[in-house]
Amino acid sequence: LPVVVFAHGFGSDLDGYAPLADHWAAGGFVVIQATHLDSRRLALPDDDPRRPRMWHYRVQDMQCILDELSALEASVSGLAGRVDHTRIVAAGHSFG
């Protein structure tokens, strides 16, 4: 199965993109969504010293997903051996 790695917009979270993720999954894609530091789920304070480099942490998040793809694949029942590691696309919305 091909993979979509998706980055949410600034201050959003993965829940806001559920219809899009569901659409891709119904089309036969494995969809992996990061929860970035600026996600509303994490409620990072405005004065957090990491804020100026938020873009850097987002890149690290996406790289981590790619680096750990085999472990993620193995952790999902029924998915092991079905992910095509040569067919990966990155997608995002706004700051994603």
Domain boundaries, the chain: 3-92
Contact 3, 23 (CB under 8 A): no
pLDDT value at residue 54? 81
Residue 96 reports pLDDT greater than 90: no
Three-state secondary-structure class, residue 26:
helix
pLDDT value at residue 25? 97
